[in-house]
Structure 1
Amino acid sequence: MSDSFGDWPLQRLMTEVVGSGPKSADDMTAAQATEAFERILADEPDPTTLGAFWLANRWKKNNPEELGAFLDVMRRDSVKTGVPECDPVDCGANYDGKSRSALLGVASGVVAAAAGTPVVVHSGDHVPSGMGVAYKHVLDELGVTTDLGPSESADMVDSTGFGFYYQPRFNPGVHGLFGRRERMGVRTFVNTVETLANPANADVHLGSFYHLAFATKVTDTFRASEETDVDRVLMFQGMEGYDDVRPGSTVVAEWNDGDDDLDDFTIETEEYGMDFDSEALEVADVAADSADITRDVLAGDRTDAFADAVALNAALRIYARQDADSIDDGLDMARDAIASGDAEQVLADLVTF
């Protein structure tokens, strides 16, 4: 047992707490979860024990107290923030990305920025287990510099209204786990907490979920965390787990600091111009096609399903920061930003940054 940690190496946690199976395992205390992730980031556990620990936590499912502890360790021991002067919306999409449908978050974030809502996005590079296309890859296709340190990312936000933070630069400890995560073959709790890294210290978090229970878990995780201070969360059912709203009947969850519970409501996307099904947003080459769609939509050269989806996703970002009183008002602002040419100019500014 290493003297630099406490009394709970991962092997003991497996034996006495989390490793007995999905029905009989116990949850860790915050102190135990804290020590576990400190050891992991320090590369202390044996690789076999680490893999078993990750899998045991996947089977038993982590509660907000554990996730809050993991988040706090990551923020203290790994995350290097770059705080812009503006207060952007933090878009925490799943880092393992998309594989079938267009990634619209770049276009949507640029449109929101042009409408007056600064937006921050962050990702790694083909992160396990999905190894899909994320924000970085679309930005690379657009010619935007992505290998930025946190302070450079903050400058990008203040200069253009839109900023990208690259995980290897702002979260090197978690990036250092890449090889171990790749060998796991399945998602771990790291996939959840890395999306909550909030490298710009934003007050507003925007994310997505498959099931509403996950949105509740995220807001409870923020409440359990001592190292994050998020005032507002907006989440919705996203395509492929990403932060592109799913067409059709879609649940939106909204939480403000001080609320006991989150509020949820259902929107029919056809009422906001998205009158099509998910297949309409599928593409052959996610990175390259998403970049082409982004250019065309921002230039006003497309008025199809992709343009409608970009406008609504931008509206949700505007509404998340409460720069519009309703999603309808945000939609008007988004469409005006495209029609005026302001959105295309933000993209041009990003390319030359």
Structure 2
Amino acid sequence: MAQATSEYGEWPLKRLMTEVVGSGHKSAEDMTREQAREAFQRILDGEPDETTLGAFWLANRWKRNTPEELAAFVDVMREESVEVAAPSADPVDCGANYDGKHTSAILGVAAGVVAAAAGTPVVVHSGDRVPTQKLDAYKHVLDELGATTDLSPGESADLVDDVGFGFYYQPAFNPGVDDLFERRDMMGVRTYVNTVETLANPADASVHLGSFYHLAFAKRMVKTLKKSRRNPAERALFFQGMEGYDDIRPGATVVAEWPSDDAEADENGILDYEIRTSEYGMDIQGEDLEVEDVAGDSATITEEVVAGDREDAFADAVELNAALRIYAREDVSGLDDGIAEARAAISDGSAAAVLEDLRSY
């Protein structure tokens, strides 16, 4: 058995594999909060053997992490890797999957710009070709638009306050996780790092907007935020996003909202309900939002929608996604009002002005 060290505790990853998480998806046990904390501290410090690290990540993927474990990972990440720079504004923190999209347009820049023009500050964050997909993400759309993305956390916070829409770049604000790039790439599959990095919340926002594939995972993410002692989010909306990204899926889309005092909310204060996007002007199919060049076409769509030069599926989708961001911060009481705010921001030129400020910053 590996020996305890004075620097950490009594649970090297090899021991956790042998005694806790490594016996298979049916018989593996969950880690305590303290064990999970120590594991991620060791990982961020580069202490584990590469083989042991890969096995540990895969074992956790098989057994599925609990909210308690995920919260411990989030807290260690924010304590030891994330450089928080909070703007004076309290923005909506948009945590899309960092490994990007391959088929449909990324609408979050346009939606965030429109929401900002309507008075709801928005923050997005991503890395650069993050494993496993290593596809286009927020950074690449902003690069195509000519916006500056290689920003320090302080510069990102200033951007939010000056423009209303801000971007935080993972290598700058979360270097410990960024340093895991090569090891994650060699895994070939997603790990819990793909989950917790979306909860980095570098702007210390009190509202988080995220996406999910299945409702059970959304509830796990909400419970993670509730159990975290370092992420200050007090409200969250998770919805079924296209390709796991924070672009709302056309059709019938499930939303998990927390906290809610609705009688239909569960014991954790999570209310789940369905949005039929056709009822909000987004009467389209998923293929209507597909593009050939994700970053380049998404940038062009952003320019044209915020300028009011499009009245098509992309414009409808941007308006609803902007409305969801406005509603998430409770700046409106419902999506209909949010859409009205979004349309007004486009029609009066406010959205185009925010985009221009973003590009010239």
Classify the TM-score, shorter chain.
Answer: over 0.9
Aligned in 2, Cα 1:29/1:153: closer, same or farther, shift over 3 Å? same
Residues 73-100 of structure 1: CA distance to partner in whole angstroms, max 9, x if unpaired?
0000000011000100000000001000
- Between the aligned partners of 1:308 and 1:326, the Cα distance in structure 2 is 17
- Between the aligned partners of 1:35 and 1:260, the Cα distance in structure 2 is 27
Residues 133-165 of structure 1: CA distance to partner in whole angstroms, max 9, x if unpaired?
100000000000000010000000000000000
- Between the aligned partners of 2:83 and 2:332, the Cα distance in structure 1 is 31
Q: Which residue of 1 aligns with 2:46?
A: 43
- Between the aligned partners of 1:189 and 1:308, the Cα distance in structure 2 is 34
Aligned length: 353
Q: Which residue of 2 aligns with 1:335?
A: 343
> Which residue of 235, 239, 242 maps to 1:236?
239
**Maintained 8 Å contact 2:24/2:59:** yes
- Between the aligned partners of 1:100 and 1:134, the Cα distance in structure 2 is 12
AA at the equivalent of 1:347: L
Q: Which residue of 1 aligns with 2:281?
A: 273
Moved over 4 A (4+): none
Secondary structure in 1 matching 2:25? coil
> Which residue of 204, 211, 218 maps to 2:207?
204
Q: Which residue of 2 aligns with 1:113?
A: 116
- Between the aligned partners of 1:347 and 1:228, the Cα distance in structure 2 is 29
Q: Which residue of 2 aligns with 1:348?
A: 356
- Between the aligned partners of 1:239 and 1:57, the Cα distance in structure 2 is 25
**Maintained 8 Å contact 2:99/2:135:** yes
Secondary structure in 1 matching 2:167? strand
**Maintained 8 Å contact 1:230/1:257:** no
| Cα shift at 1:195 | 0.1
- Between the aligned partners of 1:145 and 1:257, the Cα distance in structure 2 is 38
| Cα shift at 1:231 | 1.0
The answer to whether the aligner puts 1:302 opposite 2:307 as a matched pair is no
Secondary structure in 2 matching 1:206? strand
- Between the aligned partners of 2:230 and 2:291, the Cα distance in structure 1 is 39
**Maintained 8 Å contact 2:260/2:271:** no
Q: Which residue of 1 aligns with 2:297?
A: 289
Q: Which residue of 2 aligns with 1:252?
A: 255
> Which residue of 56, 60, 83 maps to 1:53?
56
- Between the aligned partners of 2:307 and 2:192, the Cα distance in structure 1 is 39
Q: Which residue of 1 aligns with 2:153?
A: 150
Residues 247-283 of structure 1: CA distance to partner in whole angstroms, max 9, x if unpaired?
0011111102897330011111011111110000000
| Cα shift at 1:42 | 0.2
AA at the equivalent of 2:186: R
- Between the aligned partners of 1:195 and 1:229, the Cα distance in structure 2 is 14
Q: Which residue of 1 aligns with 2:173?
A: 170
For structure 1, the residue ranges without an aligned partner over 5 or more in a row are: none
**Maintained 8 Å contact 2:260/2:269:** no
**Maintained 8 Å contact 1:232/1:257:** no
TM-score (norm 1): 0.99
Identity %, equivalent residues? 68
AA at the equivalent of 1:11: K
AA at the equivalent of 1:58: R
For structure 2, the residue ranges without an aligned partner over 5 or more in a row are: 262-266
The answer to whether the aligner puts 1:3 opposite 2:6 as a matched pair is yes
TM-score (norm 2): 0.97
AA at the equivalent of 2:337: D
Q: Which residue of 2 aligns with 1:33?
A: 36
Q: Which residue of 2 aligns with 1:221?
A: 224
Matches within 5 A, 1:79-94: 79-94=82-97
> Which residue of 132, 135, 139 maps to 1:136?
139
| Cα shift at 1:228 | 1.5
AA at the equivalent of 1:146: T
AA at the equivalent of 2:335: I
| Cα shift at 1:344 | 0.5
Secondary structure in 1 matching 2:239? strand
- Aligned-residue CA RMSD (Å): 1.0
- Between the aligned partners of 1:139 and 1:26, the Cα distance in structure 2 is 43
Secondary structure in 2 matching 1:236? strand
Secondary structure in 2 matching 1:38? helix
Secondary structure in 2 matching 1:205? strand
Residues 302-328 of structure 1: CA distance to partner in whole angstroms, max 9, x if unpaired?
100000000000000000000001011
**Maintained 8 Å contact 1:231/1:257:** no
AA at the equivalent of 2:232: D
- Between the aligned partners of 2:318 and 2:97, the Cα distance in structure 1 is 18
Q: Which residue of 1 aligns with 2:264?
A: none
**Maintained 8 Å contact 1:93/1:207:** yes
Secondary structure in 1 matching 2:291? coil
Secondary structure in 2 matching 1:260? coil
